[in-house]
Structure 1
Amino acid sequence: MKNYEDHLSQEDPQDTNEQLNWVIKQAKKAAERAGVSTGNGRNPQADVTALVHAGKTSFAFELSGLNSATMVGEIEQELEQLDGVDARIVYPSATAWVSASSTIDPQTIIEVFSRFGVEASLSDSSLRRRVAWSDVEEGRFHRSLRRHRRHATREQAEEEEKKFERARRQGFLERQTDHRRKEASTQVLFTARELIHKKRLLVSLAFSIPVLLVSYYPWLQFDYWQWVLAALSAPVVSWGAWPFHRATIGGARRGMSALDSASSVAILLAWIWSVTAMLFSEVGEIGYRADPTWVSLSPDQARTGMLFFDVACGMTCILLAGRLLIRHTRNNLLDELDQLRPDQHTQVTVATRNRKTGKVDHRRVPVQKLNVGDDILIAPGDLIPVDGVVVGGSSRVHPEALGIESADVSVNDKVFAGSVNGDHNLKIRVLRTGHRTWLAEVYRWVADTNVHQNLADDLATRTASTLVPVSLMIAAADFALWALITGNLTQAFATALAVLGGVAPVALAVSASLAMRQGIEGAARRGILIRAGSTLRDLDAVDTVIFNRVGALSGEEMHVETVTAERGEDLDLVLRVAGALALESDHPVSRAIVRAAREARDAQHTTTIPNWIEVSHYEVDEDGNFHAMVELPLHNSDGEEEMRQVEAVLWRPKNLSELDGRLAQAAVAGGTPLVVRWKGKNRGVITLHDDPKDDATDAVDALEQMGIETMMLSRDTYPVARRYGDSLGVSHVLAGIQPANKAQTVRSVRTHGAAIAMVGDDSVHRCFRVANVGIQIGAMGHVHTPSSIERSEADVVMLEGSVQPIPRLFRFARKINKVVHSNIAFAWSYNCLAMLAAIAGVLHPMIATVLMLASTLIIEVRSNRVGTF
């Protein structure tokens, strides 16, 4: 800086002042970019709100779509180009840590990620920290505002307060933008929905009704009536039909044909032809009167000339009305879920107990400030904003948003966000909030499915769009042939106009996609999440269903049925060792053994078995067997009893050859057998019983009646598994299959030509990969976090554990595919017949437009009806 001042001292004083002023301006601009006000001639205290936000903050972003580690460096470099931003991306955990000025909008950082195709969302901790920091900022602001009011007028302070409040309302916490919804609603080849609204239709109708009446009723015609119709129809053809013209222009710029291009061209040609005819033929004369037909074309009238203002206006109004009607008849699940998503600013009552006085205090806080562990009070009729567990009261809740049936809940029962409380007050302890709830996960799943479905439907849309240039070529050829054969240009143009008005590419485009979309959303309304439309096609082709016994067919609870000890072994010790080995597992089998071992310990009257058996070096092998070192009372060489560590195993036999004697007999006589071994010798067999689910037998029977073969996959020996399968009516049993070999077994069945649907919980996720369709059942009862189903290998995720919806799912898929096939056949048949009738000259252009709309509505109605699961 000193060198720069010396340099300035050597120059002309006037130049020096100008350069100094320039340096000061640049410094002010730099200060303003950094968030520090320079006053700019005003009172420096007037910019106190800018100083409130000074400081640094940090963000944690969870990333999705980070498919390559090579992207990390590029994204970090792009982020650090923002002022004051320091970014580090951890590729293995798909997490980004960003340090930036507290004034920066996190949306700016998210937009940088989106440019690389990576979706970033703030973590829960960052959101809570940002909310807490906003409270701190609010307090700092009010204190600084009080100081400022001592030196400013009341009007200035109120104006600054309004500006600051508006700025806060535009902040990050107020934004409800969902990028999935934007991407899911993008259709390049369709007409923009935002441009089609009631105002456009009503204005078009106001201009079109006089045109139609005067055109079709000669007694209403007067001198210069045709010129009046030209003026009335001009705004309809231009402004009213602008959405279709805009789509046509956009498609042409992209080298594609918009689906409404044929209608757009027909509307413009009808108006231009009519104006040209008035200028160069007798239809423009003062005393001309027209007597048009309503349904068919009249060759005699065509020879004297015809006006098509009625066609241009009628086609525009019919298209606008049809698009609005279609929009209102469609049910969008995301819109319904939006209404059930709790607003983040909604106030809820939180109950807290004072540790010193024991008094329970109630305070109102917004939903966005709730934390895990808070106790909230939900009044009757209110929306439950969180996933939680009931800790007080009982009521009936209606979780319609998740597709789950209404249920009575009491203490220790779980409730979910989006549910409506019934008739009584509930006290709920928060387990999950915000985007971690099941409601948010269902919303994300449906939104992602819509995105995937849009990509899959793109081919069908492009195929349908090829009908537009084909119809234009057919219309041109039709016009040329009629003109050459009859010499009547008006009739030739009328037939060509009927070709363009009757073609229905939209009906062809939505014939498959709409039914698939409605089917997916209809299933989601019943708690069944389907990955994509291709899954419904795969379900229709399935001829074999493989059930994993545990998780799919058996109930949640298992019970120890018998305990058989080898000769000379202590029965209680066998059970106690098994309980010690199974203590670390959450499997239903393990829970049943641990429960029985504790009951035996509490009931025992002997001191030979210790109350607690020490377990060390615990491990589970690939077959699911438990290995550990246990400390047991054993006799030494002198016959004295002492505690010694021995290797113990709790394992499940694959076949009968692995056991002999009384243990082999016990293993096949009852339920699921487990063998207890220590010091290399089998000491006993524990058999367990689990009742099938209440609806399992009906579900298996329903599948068999549909012609679908059923199989059961089990680790049990064949006699035990066969007995269990016979009780349910399962056709085939795949027994003695260890967990590590289940995927290979499913693959081998598929290689024999079977189209397989694998049904089970998340423990058989590897089987989902090799099956044609993977159906994960009981997701809400087995997965730890709702977001884990996004990474599931299953194509279908059922939130509840019932088996009965599985046959309905297959019937549902068959119905949807049947509707899709019939829709496609109807759309192609209609387009061919409509073109033939138009070419033959028996179809009026206005009637052709009505038929085009009718064909689209028929497909819409048929597709909307399949949404009922």
Structure 2
Amino acid sequence: MSAPTHQPTESIDLAITGMTCASCSARIERKLNKLEGVEAAVNLATEKARVQYAAPLTVADIVKTVQSAGYGAAPLGSVPTAAPATLERPGSPAGSEPLTGPEGSAGPVRQSGDHDEHRAPEPAPEDHLAHDVAPADSLRRRAIVASALGALVVLIAMVMPVRDALGGAGPWLELVLTIPIYTWAAWPFHRAAAINARHLSSTMDTLVSIGITAAFGWSVVAVLTGFSDHLYFEVVGAVTAFLLIGRYIEARAKAQGRSALHSLLELGAKDVAVLRTDGAGAWREHRIPVEQLSIGANFVVRPGEKIATDGTVLEGDSAVDTSMVTGESMPVEVSEGHEVVGGTINGHGRLIVRATRVGAETTLARITKLVEDAQMGKAPVQRLADRVSAVFVPAVLVIAAVTLLLWLVTGHGVTEALEPAVAVLIIACPCALGLATPTALLTGTGRGAQLGILIKGPQILESTRTIDTVVLDKTGTVTTGEPVLGDIVSTFREDAVLKAAAAVEQGSEHPIARAIVSAAEDRGIDLPRVRSFTNLPGQGAEGSVNGMTVRVGKPDLFEEVPAHLQAALDAGTGTTVLVGWEGTAHGALTVADAVRPTSAAAVSRLRELGLTPYLLTGDNEHTAAAVAQQVGIDHVQANVLPQDKHARITALQREGRVVAMVGDGVNDAAALAQADLGMAMGSGTDVAMESADIVLMRADVDTVAEAIGLSRQTLRVIKQNLVWAFGYNTAAIPLAAFGLLNPMIAGGAMALSSVLVVLNSLRLRGYGR
């Protein structure tokens, strides 16, 4: 009877060195997942592994396992999986002080209870050297040398006038020029192939090293013995140069794909001016590193400075540029009591802010963590590529050997048989296959973060492809969630009625009262002082205005309600209150939740994506219909209680619809979880955002369409990359085996295929511009 499998309880991110292709990442992943209680995902593009593990395994055991596969590994941090990263709405109550790294850093931390054996050992010198893949500048130098010398070799070997002019010295000159190419420029391929061979494995580097070694070895022997005039020095030079150039371009392009995440990491302020009292009790500014900032500290933000961390404005008025965090293009006005987010840029005013979250608990840190988590994952379409990559290189080695033997047994000479075999080895390198998914995912999620769209995982991309219905919660999603005064129906001047109502409502904190007072202030109406204010529970309020008792509220407060005012009450397009005096109602004021200015255009865009929008609300049918008409939604479900939202989503699914739900409140959490795709507004609650698959940092329905469009485009790019990678290898290997592909052309084509995959992924950087 086998021992029970341990459930993963902790997670570690590892930086992996030495990976060059999909078979590398697949082998590391396979090796780790053989450990009991381990779930591992290895990402070639980010050069990271995320490993979930359980005791008695330690980080040291995991690192040793990676090293035993022939690669280098170093832990980036240890975090408990029981507490997944979620986003807190700016303005939600600050929780307990977060665990942070040294000096309050925002990075991953060692948990209490961790022991020294959880720390990974330093990699052995040989492993570190063997798998420290040449950085971009080293690749560039090797590519330049290989290209310069390789061009001369090709000139000597293939340009007849030059070849004839050199005569017998030509082959020897080719040998001299090719030696540094083979031994120094191509050293990364040989080194990786040798280490992999020591671990009884093979990768792309194995194919390259064997291919150019066969061509170089044959040519050296031919020059030294003179038994053949067929030399392949130009193949060694051209193939090595092509591959190095391709790998250099690929490294640069991958770095560009990570730039969006890097820009998030660089957003935070480096230092901050905190306010502290001196010995005399006066407040003084002290500039400290932002890592030393603690919850509850007051700090100063001058015009043009970055806000150091999430907090509440204590003093000052300004406009804050939140574009890099939320994607919102227009500055947001803030004043005393408003919440601000760390990493955003203060505009024209001086602010004093009290820190409410620091380190790993800040909005920016949580956004970064969500993006990193998404980039570490794998889309379902990647699984097929991983399975193919695991057997691809050994299969190619067999195909190359069979190609050589078949050419020999069919009466061809060794020289004729060697060329197609070498071409098979070189053309078949599965770089493009390994880069197809992670580079697109890297770029797409990074671009999403810039637009204020946080895609929680690669599997979400597949969900967006099948969605055909979008259910929009009305309050706070299609509408602003803040009531505003709409229609006024009165027996005489509107301003007089509004003035009387607002004068009484000055004494109330009810949302409807605030909407009426705000509307009067916007019209520049001077409000008289109210005396003898009385709240009438369940009915309204009354007060003495200029010596006359004015009532605001329900019809029961009045002895007489004119017919046209009663008609306004019956219309039901919002919440309508009456205002009057001396027992008679003289005006009807309708307060309704304001529709967002962008909602109508956003709904139209959803339709263009082939989606059917539904409006879900707890309001009455009249109000729901009025909002739906404004934004262009045909399907409305009104009078929906919070506990019924989940059931409505389920009902749509039973009708065969694939449903996306968009909401922002606690009462939306169950519906978000039930939906095939849950999308939470970033202005909403933590519970809603934790239940969602996509978090929208901008409270705007337009981001719904933008998020679905970006997700679908990312998935489309992944599929384009995979089709190209699979199709390229499927078509190219037979051509090479039948001798229809020169090894030099094969080298160039292989390098170009990887570059094309990465460049195709980088197109996502321009999405939404």
Q: State whether TM-score is above 0.5.
A: yes
CA contact (8 A) 2:215 2:422 kept: yes
| Correspondence 1:359-758 to 2 at 5 A | 359-390=282-313, 391-392=315-316, 394=318, 397=321, 399-407=323-331, 409-412=333-336, 413-422=338-347, 425-453=350-378, 457=382, 459-559=384-484, 591-592=511-512, 669-672=571-574, 688-758=591-661
Equivalent residue number for residue 262 of structure 1: 207
- Pairing 1:324–2:248 present: yes
1:206 is aligned, of 123, 137, 145, to 145
Change (3 A) 1:867 1:493: same
Taking the aligned partners of 1:231 and 1:320, their CA distance within structure 2 comes to 20
Q: Deviations over 1:593-643 (max 9, x none)?
A: 78779999x999898x96597xxxxxxxxxxxxxx9x9x9xxxxxxxxxxx
Change (3 A) 1:803 1:126: closer
Q: Deviations over 1:693-733 (max 9, x none)?
A: 11111111222233311111112233432333122211211
Taking the aligned partners of 2:534 and 2:475, their CA distance within structure 1 comes to 33
- Pairing 1:351–2:275 present: yes
Q: CA deviation at 1:819?
A: 2.8
Q: Which moved more, 1:433-442 or 1:470-479?
A: 470-479
Q: Deviations over 1:112-145 (max 9, x none)?
A: 9959978999x985879x9xxxxxxxxxxxxxxx
CA contact (8 A) 2:11 2:78 kept: no
Change (3 A) 1:423 1:462: farther
SS where residue 558 of structure 1 aligns? Answer: strand
| Correspondence 1:121-200 to 2 at 5 A | 125=97, 172-173=102-103, 194-200=133-139
Equivalent residue number for residue 11 of structure 1: none
Taking the aligned partners of 2:177 and 2:106, their CA distance within structure 1 comes to 42
Q: Deviations over 1:806-840 (max 9, x none)?
A: 22333333333333333322223322332233233
Taking the aligned partners of 1:546 and 1:225, their CA distance within structure 2 comes to 74
CA contact (8 A) 1:560 1:593 kept: no
CA contact (8 A) 2:327 2:698 kept: no
1:771 is aligned, of 675, 682, 689, to 675
Q: CA deviation at 1:282?
A: 1.7
Change (3 A) 1:723 1:410: closer
Taking the aligned partners of 2:171 and 2:756, their CA distance within structure 1 comes to 36
Change (3 A) 1:688 1:506: same
1:272 is aligned, of 217, 222, 244, to 217
Equivalent AA in structure 2 for residue 554 of structure 1: T
Taking the aligned partners of 1:494 and 1:455, their CA distance within structure 2 comes to 38
CA contact (8 A) 1:349 1:363 kept: yes
- Pairing 1:282–2:229 present: no
Taking the aligned partners of 1:378 and 1:398, their CA distance within structure 2 comes to 15
Equivalent AA in structure 2 for residue 448 of structure 1: D
1:823 is aligned, of 721, 730, 738, to 721
Q: CA deviation at 1:456?
A: 7.6
Equivalent residue number for residue 741 of structure 2: 843
Equivalent residue number for residue 136 of structure 1: none
Change (3 A) 1:721 1:210: closer
**Unaligned segments of structure 1, at least 5 residues:** 1-62, 69-73, 80-109, 131-171, 284-303, 565-574, 584-589, 614-627, 633-649, 651-661, 676-684
Change (3 A) 1:193 1:449: farther
CA contact (8 A) 1:208 1:232 kept: no
Taking the aligned partners of 1:753 and 1:426, their CA distance within structure 2 comes to 53
Equivalent residue number for residue 654 of structure 1: none
Taking the aligned partners of 2:438 and 2:611, their CA distance within structure 1 comes to 27
Q: CA deviation at 1:794?
A: 0.6
Greater relative CO (CA pairs within 8 A, separation 6+): 2
TM-score, normalised on structure 1?
Answer: 0.61
**Unaligned segments of structure 2, at least 5 residues:** 1-8, 13-36, 38-53, 60-73, 86-94, 111-118, 121-126, 157-162, 490-500, 521-526, 542-553, 555-563, 578-587
CA contact (8 A) 2:104 2:359 kept: no
CA contact (8 A) 2:342 2:363 kept: yes
2:267 is aligned, of 332, 335, 340, to 340
2:684 is aligned, of 770, 774, 782, to 782
Q: CA deviation at 1:376?
A: 2.6
CA contact (8 A) 1:482 1:492 kept: yes
Change (3 A) 1:278 1:606: closer
SS where residue 342 of structure 2 aligns? Answer: coil
Identity of aligned residues (%): 25
Change (3 A) 1:210 1:553: closer
Q: CA deviation at 1:536?
A: 1.9
Q: Deviations over 1:14-43 (max 9, x none)?
A: xxxxxxxxxxxxxxxxxxxxxxxxxxxxxx
Change (3 A) 1:195 1:538: same
Change (3 A) 1:819 1:810: same
Taking the aligned partners of 2:78 and 2:329, their CA distance within structure 1 comes to 39
Q: CA deviation at 1:467?
A: 3.1
TM-score, normalised on structure 2?
Answer: 0.68
Q: Deviations over 1:530-555 (max 9, x none)?
A: 01222122112211111111121111
Taking the aligned partners of 1:743 and 1:117, their CA distance within structure 2 comes to 27
Q: Deviations over 1:769-789 (max 9, x none)?
A: 111111111x1x3336xxx67
Equivalent residue number for residue 31 of structure 2: none
CA contact (8 A) 2:98 2:360 kept: no
SS where residue 594 of structure 2 aligns? Answer: coil
CA contact (8 A) 1:775 1:795 kept: yes
Taking the aligned partners of 1:251 and 1:381, their CA distance within structure 2 comes to 53
CA contact (8 A) 1:195 1:243 kept: yes
Equivalent AA in structure 2 for residue 793 of structure 1: S
Equivalent residue number for residue 6 of structure 2: none
Which structure has the bigger radius of gyration? 1
- Pairing 1:216–2:155 present: yes
SS where residue 291 of structure 2 aligns? Answer: helix
1:833 is aligned, of 727, 731, 748, to 731
SS where residue 430 of structure 1 aligns? Answer: strand
